[in-house]
């Protein structure tokens, strides 16, 4: 079985500042993929960033980057220069090769102007 | 290209009534998923289809829930009879194959309220 844990139910950040959302996971597989999804009030899950477990280099997408620590099974998301539009629920997710996408419980991010 | 389309967007029903949700995946995506998301929680998989075959339905409460994916394209999820605890957002997603590093594409979901 695979599990994903997000220990921060809520986070707050000042506009233009940087915030880091935490995620830990557990899997017995060596080949897997990790994702961060954003869910605004519209409810649609939007893919923010992805990381292949076999890649040591941390993924980066514009203002979003991850800190992937495979040995520690940790996958945190850093948002730089936070914007009001970043306010949403953020979900960490794990996809084993041949398995299904498993989500964490989510972190609500609030951005203060 | 249209994304994953779900309808209705909202549904309010009385307990013990039936309800159905519809999903149209992205063209060419052979794998389709139904997830349930309770308030304040992450989505949980109910059922996964590869083409028209349900390959993982272990989390589907089969006494009241049913699903079908005729012709391997559109899918319908049904609840009969609905219970108060079924109130949740029902998300549909699709992928090519098992998604791999591309993840899944999600629809906007149907918010079900059972009163």
DSSP, res B115:
-
Give CA–CA dist A93/B42, Å, rounded.
9
Top pLDDT among A89 and A56 is at A89
Cβ within 8 Å, pair B99-A44: no
**pLDDT reported for residue A97:** 63
Does pLDDT of B1 surpass 70? no
pLDDT of residue A64: 98
By CB atoms closer than 10 A (0-12, 13-18, 19+), residue A23 is: buried
Cα separation, A113 vs B108, whole angstroms: 27
> For residue B29, which of B57, B64, B2 has the smallest C-alpha distance?
B2
Contact at CB, A101 and B42, closer than 8 angstroms: no
Average pLDDT, chain B: 92
A104, A4 contact by CB (below 8 A): yes
What confidence score (pLDDT) does residue A31 get? 86
Please say if the pLDDT value at position B91 is more than 70.
yes
**Lowest-pLDDT range of A4-8, B18-22, B36-40, B70-74:** B70-74
* % of residues, chain A, pLDDT over 70: 97
Burial readout B4-19 (b: 16 or more C-beta within 10 A, e: otherwise):
bebeeeebebeeeeeb
Q: Do A100 and B48 touch (CB under 8 A)?
A: yes
Among A45, A97, A100, beta carbon nearest to B106: A45
- Encode pLDDT of A18-43 as tens digits: 999 999 999 988 889 999 999 998 88
Indicate if the pLDDT at residue B96 is higher than 90: no
Tell me the residues of chain A between 75 and 94 that have a Cβ less than 8 Å away from chain B: 91, 93
Instruction: Give the pLDDT score at A2.
Output: 87
Q: Residue B84 in 3-state DSSP?
A: helix
Which of A83, A82, A66 lies closest to A74, judged by CA? A66
A18's tokens: 């940087």
pLDDT at A109 over 80: yes
Share of chain A above pLDDT 90, in %: 82
Vertex A9: Cα angle to A8 and A12 (nearest 5): 80
- Averaged pLDDT for residues B85-101: 88
- In chain B the first and final C-alpha atoms are separated, in Å, by 37
Count each helix (H run) and each strand (E run) in chain B, helices first: 0, 11
């Amino acid at each position: 079985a695979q599990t994903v844990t997000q220990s921060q139910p809520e986070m707050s950040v000042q506009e233009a500042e940087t915030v880091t959302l935490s995620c830990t996971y557990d899997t017995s597989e060596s080949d897997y993929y990790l994702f961060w999804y954003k869910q605004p009030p519209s409810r649609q899950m939007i893919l923010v960033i992805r990381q292949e477990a076999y890649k040591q280099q941390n993924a980066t997408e514009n203002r979003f980057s991850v800190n992937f620590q495979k040995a520690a099974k940790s996958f945190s998301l850093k948002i730089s220069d936070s914007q009001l539009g970043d306010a949403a629920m953020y979900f960490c997710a794990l996809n084993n090769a041949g398995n299904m996408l498993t989500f964490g419980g989510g972190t609500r991010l609030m951005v203060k102007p | 290209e249209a994304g994953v389309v779900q309808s209705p967007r909202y549904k309010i029903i009385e307990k013990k009534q039936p309800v159905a949700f519809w999903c149209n995946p992205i063209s060419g995506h052979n794998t389709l998923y139904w997830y349930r998301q309770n308030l304040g929680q992450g989505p949980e998989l109910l059922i996964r289809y590869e083409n028209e075959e349900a390959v993982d339905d272990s989390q589907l409460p089969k006494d009241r829930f049913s699903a079908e994916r005729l012709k391997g394209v559109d899918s319908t999820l049904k609840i009969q009879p609905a219970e108060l605890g079924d109130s949740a957002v029902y998300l549909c997603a699709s992928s090519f194959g098992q998604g791999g590093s591309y993840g899944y594409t999600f629809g906007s979901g149907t918010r079900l309220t059972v009163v």
